[in-house]
Structure 1
């Protein structure tokens, strides 16, 4: 009888151990940087494609995500080409530095037509790429007020405050980047050169010293923009 019980236990152990090995978690850590200059990319999206788990790099570009051997981890950042790597270790901590390349202009899901400008097409594609963040409503960082003398009140959101702050910071960065891209789509070197006849270093200096703000660009029609650049150029020459 003891032999039978021992045999059953051994069989159970043999059956369970492979499953346990497969279920072991690996912590993938490292930093996300710009491939060209090595600068860190804060709030980059880090997604375990195999499990759907998602997190973000912090302000210093550092990331940490869990998974199992063979899981595919996808890294993406606004204006950069996404990249992916597999987890290669079976357990413990695996450290990988991720270098992302700046994305060249590619028009995917929306075609350029009389309805859309190239900027609008790029903007639509960017919003589609990061819709899981942009369409995720902001949540309170801490809940409730603390009555006088009642001590500290802990919010159910407190444990998620870090991710919530990262999400809000990403939305802010995204909005600022969109405004800059809009300005650059209209205030182009080619267009400014046609209006001012400036070239080379003089053109770059003029554009840098007279870079318009977003609200100004939104308020100006194309013909008004020509007059605006002309006025700025005349004042700049003096």
Structure 2
């Protein structure tokens, strides 16, 4: 009994720590393989702060739902909403400083700008405001140029990447909880019956997200009751409506 208490006292902090940190690597957005050392990583919820190592890696205390901010000199600041504590790759875009090279006189003489490309054209586009309003702004605003940041596209890509990571995380959880071994242990199904059972009653990502933690044993048991009511022909159909767990 004494040894068990000592083991729990030692093991518990390690388990808690493993569940309350997030890790990752910060890269240059243009040069995907270039890691960024010295990036400030700040948890906006807990106010914890750290910096990336010489290889761009970071570890910071965090929980699901926290906002993590990444900032570095010469780069746009990015903020990440944690949907999980999985290891992540962060890509920071470089700030543009090239407007000093614009020929103001040439801009005023033309109502349209052509080939006015910024060196960081992947993320930024120079726009000219046309018409009478545009000509007025040309007089008032150093040629009337506006900088339209294509940063929204980058943010959409980040969100899409986060959604894909979340989807992959749930698929891996379902694969583990709704595995052949687990189903066979509970239902004794094997062979073709096991295969068709898994196709018909595999839980969807939406149902797993709606019930946390998802009770896989209960889902399998309930599905098996429904399975037993099917005819041999129905058990071979893959387009039957899936079971909706309570």
TM interval, shorter chain, is 0.3 to 0.5
What TM-score results when the alignment is normalised by the length of structure 1? 0.35
What TM-score results when the alignment is normalised by the length of structure 2? 0.34
Higher Cα Rg, which structure = 2
Higher relative contact order structure (alpha carbons within 8 Å, sequence separation ≥ 6):
1
